[in-house]
Structure 1
Amino acid sequence: MCGIALIVSGIHIGTSSLPFDSAIATRRTEKLSFSLDDLKAALRRRGPDSLGAKKLLLRLLGQNEISSSFAEHSDDVSSSSIVANADCTIETAKLRFFGATLQLRGIKPLIQPLADASGNVLVYNGEIFGGFHITSDCNDTEFLIQTLGECCSCGCCSTDHCVKCGKSSIPSVLSAIKGPWAIIYWQDSSRTLWFGRDPFGRRSLLVHWPTEDDSTFLLSSVSPVSPVQQAAEDEAHNEVGCLSYWEELPCGIYSVHVDASNSSGYLVGEVKIHEYTNSMLNELIKWERISIEPSCEDLQTCCHKLSREQHAMDLTSSESVPNETGSIQPAILMPAQILLNALKESVLRRTSLYTIYQAVISGIRLEKFVPVAVLFSGGLDSMILAALLDKCLDSSYEIDLLNVSFDGQLAPDRKSAKAGLSELRRVAPSRKWRLVEIDADLSDLVFETSHVMSLINPANTYMDLNIGIALWLASGGDGWVSDAYTSDNDDNLVRIKYKSNAKILLVGSGADEQCAGYGRHRTSYRHGSWLGLHQEMRLDMQRIWRRNLGRDDRCIADNGKEARFPFLDEDVIRLLLDIPLWEVANLDQPSGIGDKRILREVAELLGLYEAAVLPKRAIQFGSRIARESNRKNFGSNRAANQASAGSVRIHRKSNFC
């Protein structure tokens, strides 16, 4: 994982060709002031292993001739404000690249940005879980800069391969990656800047588009400062119609070809957006399901298949059954079993211990090293992830289950987490499970709340902040564990202070969106039947980058942890779309049965019978931070509900700050 950023000055960048409102250069945005040191500090929290910078200078030599060179002291940058019109001549432009790395792969230390012999520069925040063959001792970023360096540089390729030279195009390479990514890449031979995010936005990338009052172009994994902290300095950005300084970069692949303006002599560039060239990826983006509305016969079959499925479940352990003649034939797998297999592969891809870990654990006792943790509520999704992780991770490692509560032992998520721990111990008795109880009091989190507000930015509602605080505290892993102080009586437990050192955190994002886990899905089904349900689920998946994943990635990564989302694996998404909707969910049935029906069947296959019937409970409610926030900011839960507190924007003089 890496925190990445780019500051571009001295280039007149046009955005008129972009298909969204950010292209309006005359719009007004907040006026923020932060330094390079602020930016680097924010990035360093995401990537504690190394921090690097490179400064690329572009000079206009003639009418259409541009030279490029690296500054000798790339990281010799001042602490002055970077948000202002650049103080460079019209003949010179600066591209300042930053990368802060949490290294999880490869056998040698890596410092981003990377530059190759051809003058190309790469900062990359992502994991390549498929699409390319990468050996276990290879680093993704090193592989990618080599692969991108072999791409066509004509700048006009819109397909997988250039028709002129036969080389791969940059969009085709990025489209082939299976896994989360955000990228900034300078292709020197074509004088083109490339940047973008994977189609689901699983890695954060914020953008400040050039505007009339601030021509700076910035990309960053994280906002280095919260607008709330700037309120005393500048109240002008409270004007109606004034947009956030930062925006979530819409998912896609973008390019800016730098050229010389014939009329003015300035360096100019126009932002262009490119299609993903992978046909399967484009199908996932459209999120069209094969079978949406069942026939009467489908529903009747669905109602009578549970006993057959249970019979098949009993036979899948041998993966074959005898037929009437006594010969062995492969068992016919039910949708839940197929999904279980896909989820297991997804978890395995995200938790394989690459060679880098051998160096990490060389000086640590094996039993003290915890490579992977689970963001754990004890609910259906996190229980499935924990049980699958047990099947994928070497039995010598302990697994941390991170649970946050704002009401001590009384929060619903704390109760379900303890019940879930007992069930996990039953289905996986040889595994050492560690429930990390992270207790918090909202009234004590003054500095922390202000800090999280900068992380969720540009999200700005109380719901976003509640979720952000809960995720930030949980991923920090700083809590308590209960341990037996006598071997004769397991009931005698003492809580001891503990901080999880796991760098990889499994998160259940995407399960509710794809399997109809939200209350609004039931409402859509009630009003619009199966088609209405499908349309609401598709809307959720197509906006998950804006509403959830960028925010969540920033809050979790701020602790030097990498969030990984097994439910958002490309193969899992494809499979769930191939399964008829009525097999995924049946909202004619009550809560805890019909919603996320297929995941409940997966849980039963894993032996998680108690978790299989748990109702959906969002982290802000299960941890009870929403209740405490409502009391603090609205006086009571009732007043907050009347004000629809979850969607209310945070005021600058809020009690939170």
Structure 2
Amino acid sequence: MCGICCVVSLTTPHDPLEENVHKNLKHRGPNCSKDITEEISNCSLLLSAHVLHMRGCLTPQPLQDDIGNMLLWNGEVFGGLKIEQEENDTKVLLHQLSEARSASDIVCLLSKLKGPWAFIYYQSSERCIWFGRDFFGRRSLLWKFNPERASFTLSSVASQPEDDSQSQWQEVPPCGVYKFDLTETSPIGTFIFELYPWIFHSDDKPNESLESKCEGLSRCVSVNTNSSGLYLTSPVCPMNTSISSPTAEQDLNTSQTSVENLKAFLTNTDKKAMVGALIDVLSESVRKRVQYLPAQDAPEVALNETKADIAILFSGGIDSMILAALTDRHVPADKPIDLLNVAFKMQEAKMPPKSMKKGKNKKTDCDDADKTQLGQQKFNQFDVPDRITGRAGLQELKDLSPKRHWNFIEINVTQEELVDMRQKRICHLVHPLDTVLDDSLGCAIWFAARGIGVINEAVDEELYISEAKVVLTGIGADEQLAGYSRHRVRYKHSGLEGLVKELAMELGRISSRNLGRDDRIIGDHGKEARFPYLDEDVVSFLNGLPVSEKADLSLPRGVGEKLLLRLAAVELGLGLSALLPKRAMQFGSRIAKLEDNHEKASDKCKRLVTT
């Protein structure tokens, strides 16, 4: 993973790179930094790259070939292009791009790639800039325009503007790949981009959502679909929109939620085969993401043999439990796995005493007496819901794989530290997103990914800092398998047809709602976010199933949503975690309770404004 940036000035000399942006880029790539300035006719380019070493030999970027092509690459190739274990994917990709003889060749090459990526490529022979993000937008790429100075900037990460008069950053819409011709003569202060869109089939027309995704751009910007009719082939199949009611489940007793009840579903041969297929494709997705590990020198290996290479954002919920169980399959048995569990300090005053609840509670006096008698057993301000389910999940994993050393890292955050780090770091990483939800999730993920906490084993409490460069996250499961409460609302009002439309919308907007932000947040620690549930083969498998096979929202909470995934959990040998209802991270970690309870998730968050 890397921090990549390009400043394009249509006049010379080029604009300098903002100091804060440069600093944020370096956080993403602590192993190597390099800048190149290139003068092209009346234009100039400043290319800046900061590398997190993940694969093959350490390869500084921008990477330049013998004829002047330059590549800035922030991605991982997990399929579609053969890359040997010891090879560096940036080198392989630049070689392939240099071999391209036409725009069609470049588009064809990028269509093949499987994995998360964002790139900026200067093609010397055509004197043009190519850039874009993968189909889902799993890697961040932002742009900002300055028509007065006839320049624009592309960057993995930004910095919040000091005032409203400054140019505003926006996320580059992952509609396809963009091309900017440096020799094109157009009115000064205007920027015309040629788009090569993602399309499912050759007979399809460019997605109707292109216009909506590109709306809100500055008036000085124009994005036009390329006149040659070239397009990138979608790496996933279209969603199955057929409407059919569940069959096998209807004959089962679903009035209660229990692991035995879930096991009853697996007595159906077809259902069991489908669950097995899901486990296989998910397991392979995890394998690719945990075995492509940072290369280390021999001395470092010796020093860090007890340290984990892989960390998981871990709540004990079904998404993270399955990732942990599958990671256990593919990480050597003598290597630990870090489970990152974040909690925000609850205020005791905000917890109403039982005596204030309506009605009488005869156990109150007994409870108070017990607390007094035990002394040490008092209200723990970090025992948030995700901490409790996380500990329970840890025990399940120990039962499942007793020889594995699981590092359950309790990451405890006070309000004082939250306020401090939000202003210093997090607000710049969340930007240009700015809602209350972005604030809550951004802060929770930043502290979790930092990996500084304690490990409680027996009576000893040990300070622990996770050094894992790879952080697995469960995002994508709820969006594909109807895990959110809003999916139940849509199903209740519009049935399966409405649910299908809701899920299609969820996957279509996941880049702008989550992925760019999460990549910027996790990358700030010099770590790489990886998203197993958004592997192209996993998404294609789930897209190929009718929605009724993935979820049955006529069943109770804790069973019907993400039903297929719950059955996979049972098949993998997990227990009560398979029945946990969805609990959003902002509520499970209790960060939402620290702020104004009257806020809506979609409100603009004043706390993200620097002071």
TM-score by length of 2: 0.83
**Other-structure match for 1:271:** 193
**Is contact 2:114-2:235 (8 Å) kept?**
no
What SS does the aligned partner of 1:555 have? helix
What is the aligned residue count?
537
Shift of 1:295: 4.6
- Do structure 1's residue 538 and structure 2's residue 504 form an aligned pair? yes
Matches within 5 A, 1:240-639: 245-251=168-174, 252-259=176-183, 261=185, 270-276=192-198, 279=201, 282=233, 287-289=238-240, 291=242, 293-295=243-245, 300=250, 310-311=266-267, 334-354=273-293, 356-359=294-297, 362-365=300-303, 367-407=305-345, 408-450=381-423, 451-483=425-457, 492-630=458-596, 637=597
* CA 1:186–1:417: 2 relative to 1, 3 Å: same
Distance, in Å, in 1 between the alignment partners of 2:235 and 2:85 is 28
1:217 match: 152
- 2:28 equivalent to 1:41: no
Rounded to whole Å, the distance in 2 between the matches of 1:645 and 1:423 is: 35
Shift of residue 152 of structure 1? 1.5
Report if the CA contact (8 A) 1:466-1:625 is conserved: yes
Change (3 A) 1:459 1:53: same
Q: Structure 1 residue 10: deviation in Å?
A: 1.8
Counterpart residue number, 1:94: 44
Task: Call closer, same or farther: CA 1:539–1:113 in 2, change over 3 Å.
Answer: same
Q: 8 Å contact 1:258–1:267 — kept in the other structure?
A: no
C-alpha separation in 1, matches of 2:412 and 2:421:
14
Cα 1:521–1:653 shift into 2, 3 Å: closer
1:568-618 CA-partner distances (Å, limit 9, x unpaired):
000000000112211100001111010011110111011112110001011
For residues 506 and 646 of structure 1, the distance between their equivalents in structure 2, rounded to whole angstroms, comes to: 25
Aligned equivalents of 2:567 and 2:444: distance in 1?
29
Q: Which amino acid aligns with 2:196?
A: H
Per-residue deviation at 1:359?
2.1
1:164-179 aligned at under 5 Å gives the runs 169-179=105-115
Residue 193 of structure 2 aligns to which amino acid in structure 1?
V
Q: C-alpha deviations, 1:212-248, integer Å up to 9, x for none?
A: x45321100001x223xx2xxx4557xxxxxx70111
Per-residue displacement from partner, 1:172-211 (whole Å, max 9, x unpaired)? Answer: 1111100000000011011121000001000000011454
Q: 3-state DSSP class of the match of 1:202?
A: coil
Instruction: Report the equivalent of 1:183.
Output: 119
Q: Which residue in the other structure is 1:6 paired with?
A: 6
Asked whether the equivalents of residues 259 and 269 of structure 1 are also in contact (C-alpha less than 8 Å), the reply is no
CA spacing shift, 1:361–1:575, aligned 2, 3 Å: farther
- Give the aligned residue type for 1:193: I
Q: Deviations over 1:286-340 (max 9, x none)?
A: 842153x115757747889977753479xxxxxxxxxxxxxxxxx9952111101
Match in the other structure for 2:39: 57
CA distance in 1, matches of 2:382, 2:427: 27
Between 1:541-550 and 1:281-290, the stretch displaced more is 281-290
- The CA RMSD measured in Å over matched residues stands at 2.7
Cα displacement (A) at 1:410: 1.7
Distance 2:340 2:542 in 1: 28
Conserved in 1, the CA contact under 8 Å of 2:112 and 2:235?
no
Asked whether the equivalents of residues 238 and 544 of structure 2 are also in contact (C-alpha less than 8 Å), the reply is no
Secondary structure of 1:259's match? coil
Cα separation, 1, equivalents of 2:565 and 2:537: 16
Question: Post-superposition shift, 1:34?
Answer: 8.7
* Aligned residues of 1:503 and 1:561 also touching (Cα < 8 A): yes
The answer to whether the 8 Å contact 1:600/1:612 transfers is yes
Q: Which of the numbers 79, 86, 104 marks the counterpart of 1:130?
A: 79
For residues 363 and 343 of structure 1, the distance between their equivalents in structure 2, rounded to whole angstroms, comes to 29
Q: Secondary structure at the match of 1:447?
A: helix
For 1:522 and 1:137, how far apart are their aligned partners in 2? 47
Partners of 1:282 and 1:591 lie apart in 2 by: 37
Q: Do the aligned partners of residues 612 and 361 (structure 1) sit closer, same or farther apart at CA in structure 2, a change above 3 Å counting?
A: farther
The answer on whether the counterparts of 2:143 and 2:155 sit within 8 Å (CA) in structure 1 is: yes
Quote how far apart the aligned CAs of 1:268 are. Answer: 8.7
Q: Name the SS of the counterpart of 2:505 in structure 1.
A: helix
Aligned amino acid, residue 274 of structure 1: Y
Q: CA deviation at 1:357?
A: 2.6
Gaps of at least 5 residues in structure 1 are: 13-32, 60-91, 158-168, 238-243, 314-330, 484-491, 631-636
Q: In the TM superposition, what is the alpha-carbon distance from 1:127 to its structure 2 partner?
A: 0.2
2:100 maps to which residue?
A: 151
The residue type paired with residue 138 of structure 1 is: E
Aligned with 2:382: secondary structure? Answer: helix
In structure 1, how many angstroms separate the alpha carbons of the residues matched to 2:253 and 2:274? 15
- Determine helix, strand or coil for the equivalent of 2:305: helix
Structure 1 351/123 Cα, relative in aligned 2: closer, same or farther at 3 Å? Answer: same
Instruction: Classify 1:460/1:307 alpha carbon distance in 2 versus 1 (closer, same or farther; 3 Å).
Output: closer
Q: Distance in 2 between matches of 1:409 and 1:437?
A: 9
How far apart, in 1, do the equivalents of 2:72 and 2:382 lie?
43
Compared with structure 1, are the counterparts of its residues 653 and 440 closer, same or farther at alpha carbon in structure 2 (3 Å cutoff)?
Answer: closer
Superposed, 1:109-124 pairs within 5 Å as 109-124=58-73
Residue 16 of structure 1 is matched in structure 2 by none
Residue 482 of structure 1 aligns to which amino acid in structure 2? Answer: N
TM-score after normalising by structure 1: 0.77
Whether the aligned pair in 2 keeps the contact of 1:287 and 1:538 (CA below 8 Å) is no
Distance in 2 of aligned mates of 1:283 and 1:289: 15
- 1:250 deviates by 0.4
Does the aligned pair in 2 maintain the 1:54–1:98 contact within 8 Å?
Answer: yes
The 2-side partners of 1:626 and 1:196 are apart by 34
Q: Write the distance in 2 (CA, Å) between the matches of 1:50 and 1:528.
A: 53
- Runs of 4+ in structure 1 over 6 Å off: 266-269, 301-308
Residue identity over aligned pairs, in percent, reads 39
